[in-house]
């Protein structure tokens, strides 16, 4: 079979995705088929018994019911400072609450009885989210915050056949393109065909990415669809 000048344009194309789960391999860690490159409130409403007699609401309630009706809604605030960090850095997680009796948080960072405080968390090599859930007499409150690491993780699926249905047997490599403008890629690098993801360590800016593939005759496919990410 004769290959056209851009044979992979006639393949069932490479699908590229931009993941918001980021990371880096620490020294001594095993590879994971990727490559690291440095470039509302709920009110408690008590049930009431049906009655044909109209009586003042407060007079018909038990003391406990009146307290619940008067309880203020709880609030919770969770902050990360700084929000954006470089790979390997730590940050500060702090939380404040009102009208709550207890809180619980995702991960080991928060004591279940603590309703306010701060703690240093990290180091981070990927984006990580935290959830704070608090309870009070007036209901519950939930707050969320995310640590953003200045990396982008690209992953893709390997093409397996050409557009005519014949199998693709000589896939050799991929080329990753990136740039600061859509459709304009100032940089590129090549990865072997056994890779399916890559992590890029980036300085702040807007980035656009695309990928192509090569066969054993050094023919290059058309580019995949473009994905983008803002790094702050």
Q: Which residue has the tokens 């690098």?
A: 189
Q: Are residues 201 and 124 in the same domain?
A: no
3-state secondary structure of 147: strand
Average pLDDT of span 8-32: 37
Residues 169 and 122 in one domain: no
The answer to whether residue 2 is domain-embedded is no
DSSP-derived pairing of the beta strands 187-192 and 171-179: antiparallel
- How do 151-157 and 171-179 pair as beta strands? unpaired
- Residues 77 and 114 occupy one common structural domain: yes
Last residue of a domain, one of 149, 178, 202: 149
| Domain assignment present for 53 | no
Residues 64 and 144 in one domain: yes
For residue 232, what pLDDT is reported?
A: 94
Q: What is the pLDDT of residue 210?
A: 96
Number of domains in the chain: 2
Segment 105-119 mean pLDDT: 79
Q: What percent of the chain has pLDDT over 90?
A: 52
What CATH code is carried by the domain that includes residue 157? 2.60.40.10
- Whether 88 maps to a domain, the answer reads yes
Q: Give me the sheet containing 91-98, strands edge to edge.
A: 75-81, 91-98, 117-121
Specify the pLDDT at position 106: 82
Q: Which of 149, 180, 215 is a domain's end point?
A: 149
Output the CA angle 156-160-162, nearest 5 degrees: 115
pLDDT score of 221: 87
Which residues span the domain enclosing 85? 59-149
Asked whether residue 44 is domain-assigned, the answer is: no
Q: Is residue 183 part of a domain?
A: yes
Claim to verify: residue 166 and residue 145 sit in the same structural domain: no
Residues 161 and 97 in one domain: no
Residue 54 within a domain: no
pLDDT, tens only, 191-219: 999 999 999 999 999 999 999 999 898 88
Domain boundary among 89, 119, 149: 149
**Residues 160, 215 share a domain:** yes
Query: Whole-angstrom Cα distance, residue 231 to residue 113?
Result: 36
Residues 125 and 65 reside in one and the same domain: yes
Q: Tell me the pLDDT tens digit for each residue of 58-109.
A: 455 555 545 545 678 999 999 999 999 999 999 999 999 999 998 888 876 7
Q: How confident is the model at residue 161 (pLDDT cuts 50, 70, 90)?
A: confident
What secondary structure does DSSP assign to 74-98, as a single string?
PEEEEEEESSEE-TT--EEEEEEEE
pLDDT at 119 over 60: yes
pLDDT at 174: 96
Same domain assignment for residues 108 and 86: yes
DSSP 8-state symbol, 19: E
Q: Which are the contacts of 142, defined by CB distance < 8 A and separation ≥ 6?
A: 76, 131, 132, 133, 134
């Amino acid at each position: 079979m004769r290959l056209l000048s851009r044979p992979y344009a006639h393949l069932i194309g490479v699908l590229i995705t931009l993941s918001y789960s980021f990371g880096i391999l620490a020294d001594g860690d095993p590879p994971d088929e990727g490559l690291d490159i440095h470039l509302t409130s709920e009110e408690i409403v008590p049930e009431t018994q049906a009655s044909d007699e109209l009586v003042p609401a407060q007079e018909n309630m038990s003391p406990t019911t009146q307290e619940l009706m008067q309880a203020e809604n709880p609030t919770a605030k969770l902050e990360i400072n700084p929000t954006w960090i470089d790979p390997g850095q730590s940050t500060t997680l702090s939380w404040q609450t009102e009208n709550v009796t207890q809180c619980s948080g995702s991960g080991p960072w928060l004591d279940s009885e603590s309703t306010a405080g701060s703690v240093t968390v990290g180091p981070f090599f990927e984006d990580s989210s935290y959830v704070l859930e608090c309870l009070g007499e007036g209901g519950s409150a939930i707050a969320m915050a995310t640590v953003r690491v200045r990396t982008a993780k690209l992953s893709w699926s390997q093409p397996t056949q050409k557009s005519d249905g014949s199998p693709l047997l000589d896939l050799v490599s991929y080329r990753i393109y990136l740039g600061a403008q859509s459709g304009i890629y100032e940089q590129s690098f090549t990865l072997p065909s056994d890779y399916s993801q890559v992590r890029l360590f980036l300085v702040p800016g807007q980035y656009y990415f695309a990928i192509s593939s090569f066969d054993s005759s050094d023919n290059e496919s058309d580019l995949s669809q473009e994905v983008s990410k803002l790094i702050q």
